[in-house]
């Protein structure tokens, strides 16, 4: 359940000097499901788009195309790729990169 991640999200935000942005189960995330077998996994938070999607998560290289990302709720993301949940409370402009060998990088990029 999403509630299990709140404390970890708050600690991560504190560690990387980010405001904590509350995450709800019905918030929308764009994820490239077909790329989750590639590494690294990258996530980036932008200003919300017309569909109110702020997070974009993919594996490997970012590709163009309108069908690259699927829009899912945070609750669905928890079932598809729970490793990303802890990062979702980071504020706009943050990115993360992780892999199966427990590599983790979190940083704030220029305005998105």
According to DSSP, the residues that pair with 104 across neighbouring strands are 98
Q: Which pLDDT tens digit goes with each residue over 83-102?
A: 999 999 999 999 999 999 99
According to DSSP, the residues that pair with 68 across neighbouring strands are none
Residue ranges of the domains in the chain? 2-108
Backbone torsion region of residue 84, taken as left when φ is above 0, otherwise alpha when ψ lies between -120 and 50, otherwise beta: alpha
Cα-based distances in Å from 46 to 3, 37, 49, 66, 103? 24, 24, 8, 17, 23
Q: Is the dihedral of CA 85, 87, 91, 94 positive or negative?
A: negative
What pTM, to 2 d.p., does this model score? 0.91
With a pLDDT cut of 70, the percent of the chain lying above it is 96
């Amino acid at each position: 359940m999403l509630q299990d991640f709140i404390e970890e999200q708050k600690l991560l935000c504190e560690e990387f000097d980010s405001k904590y942005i509350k995450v709800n189960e019905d918030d929308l995330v764009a994820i490239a499901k077909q790329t989750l077998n590639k590494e690294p996994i990258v996530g980036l938070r932008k200003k919300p788009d017309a569909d109110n999607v702020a997070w974009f998560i993919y594996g490997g290289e970012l590709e163009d195309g309108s069908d690259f990302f699927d829009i899912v709720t945070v609750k669905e993301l928890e079932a598809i790729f729970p490793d990303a949940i802890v990062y979702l409370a980071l504020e706009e402009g943050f990115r993360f990169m992780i892999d199966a060998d427990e590599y983790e990088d979190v940083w704030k990029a220029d305005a998105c």
